Structure 1
């Protein structure tokens, strides 16, 4: 349920059984950074970076973390780099129901409730819904109960032919952005679960009418791709925004994303404020 930029190819996972060198090289190539540039960023030398990538030199734990930081490697994959180099993982992965993380979860839930009557939700790395507010519940009215059985999955709910898809007027454009978003994530993560989800939702049938009459239906000048969805006889338009945590030190926290839906036109905003779901005047 998030907008996305241009698609990138779904990259095959980099083999992790060849040591840390090929993994680091793979990340450097993905980031389009030369050995010299990476060395300058990390306070090393191009020669040493070359030796690390070819396995002629074993990097220290500190060097692995430093290179990962300068290559903007996701936290989960930083642990994979450390393991490939023969070190213990540096970042914990705390379950969301662990008492130590309850304060953070409670804060996030307060945040999305405060966003009402506008829709907002929190998803994990595979788009399972961790929390959602009443605005999301309103959009899901009429979705079959079997699709709402835990764990709720935002991509599945949005693109399933019995979910929101038949009500999204610009489905082809919105679907394309969602799939591109997943493809970029797959290119950065070795996640079989995410790849399987992508294959599943990409195979859902698209109604013949999708992306036809509504692409230019609105005279409102949008500045980002909106999701235009039918609800209770009205057309609601939303712009999506994604928020993540800065400098996360835990895998679970690093993979949480807060998605909020801002009304894209005055009519949508007025309707949301007038519904029984609204908690604000």
Structure 2
């Protein structure tokens, strides 16, 4: 396998195999017996693996990863911890092997116009966006582009898109909930934990957000309301992911498509295309 395309678990801290399994089992709230049954092994064997007295084979590791619902990056890290070669490649989006996927992504983004759409990785970085996204962002930022290529930073930085989000506490609270869930779901994910701490350090962030809220269920549908100079745009979003990915890159991507929540938002987005709306913010 091409080493330049294989970057398994690069942001995960190397961990003894037993400790990593125990960390994941604890995060999934499973007993040794429950995990052993799901992975078709004995609780005694699993206990020996967790304490370092036994070394699991590749097949057992695959069954354990399935039972723990581990993402592909973490499965590679698990294999490396056990002394095996990683299984899943991490290909660049521009690589020939992903050419058809690349075309499909561009088609989805383009088709979503005149409404915003974004290609986002698991770090919440915006890798691509359609022209509609740029138009809406510039309208809400007074003609300038965002200083950040990361959705979280755009919504938490008071000098960025946050200033235009009329229901900021509702939207930001939902984003923080997602970050907390990501940290809880993937033990050892240092980058996600650092991103969460960075967002919590922004001014005006409620202290209660430092703790993961398990008491209140998420709202069935979140509307983001953007407002500037008398213009109000209201969107809801859909998320598209790739079915049964076998490449880390695809496993960690999703496409967010925004749709107008009312006729006024739809009309304004259409008007932005021909420049009849927000002309005073033209570059």
Deviations for 1:164-218, whole angstroms, at most 9, x for unmatched residues? Answer: 111101111211111221222233153443333333333222499xxxxxxxxxx
* Superimposed CA distance per residue, residues 118-142 of structure 1 (whole angstroms, 9 cap, x where no aligned partner): 2110111222211111221122105
Deviates further, 170-179 or 198-207: 198-207
- Superposed CA deviations along residues 19-75 of structure 1, whole A, max 9, x for unmatched, are 211211211121122322222322222222222222222110111111111211111
1:44 aligns with 2:56: no
CA change 1:26–1:266 in 2 (3 A) is same
- The answer to whether structure 1 residue 244 and structure 2 residue 241 are counterparts is yes
Measure, in 2, the Cα distance between the counterparts of 1:195 and 1:250.
Answer: 23
For the aligned residue pairs, the C-alpha RMSD in angstroms reads: 2.8
Q: Which residue of 1 aligns with 2:55?
A: 58
Residue in 2 that maps onto 1:138: 135
Are the aligned partners of 1:240 and 1:261 in contact in 2 as well (CA < 8 Å)? yes
* Matching of residues 1-281 of structure 1 within 5 Å: 16-17=14-15, 19-142=16-139, 143=141, 148=146, 152-187=149-184, 188=186, 190-206=188-204, 223-231=220-228, 233-276=230-273
Q: SS of 1:224's equivalent?
A: coil
Mapped partners of 1:274, 1:258: distance in 2: 24
Cα drift, residue 157 of structure 1: 2.0
SS of the aligned residue for 1:166 comes to helix
CA contact (8 A) 2:39 2:64 kept: yes
User: 2: distance between equivalents of 1:230 and 1:144?
Assistant: 11
Contact (CA 8 Å) 2:13, 2:188: kept in 1 or not? Answer: no
Higher relative contact order (CA 8 A, sep 6+): 1
Shift in alpha-carbon separation, 1:238–1:254, aligned structure 2, 3 A: same
CA distance in 1, matches of 2:144, 2:101: 30
Structure 1 stretch displaced more, 138-147 or 45-54: 138-147
The answer for the alignment partner of 1:214 in structure 2 is: none
Q: Cα gap change, 1:201/1:14 in structure 2, threshold over 3 Å: closer, same or farther? A: closer
Tell me, yes or no, if the aligned pair for 1:121 and 1:133 is still in contact at 8 Å. yes
Q: Tell me the SS of whatever aligns to 1:276.
A: helix
Per-residue deviation, 1:231: 4.8
Provide structure 1 residue ranges, at least 5 long, that are not aligned to the other structure: 1-12, 209-221
Instruction: Judge conservation of contact 1:117–1:277 (CA < 8 Å) in 2.
Output: no
> 5+ unaligned residues in a row in structure 2: which ranges?
1-10, 207-218, 276-283
Partner of 1:218: none
Q: State the 1:251 CA deviation.
A: 1.3
Give the total of aligned pairs: 251
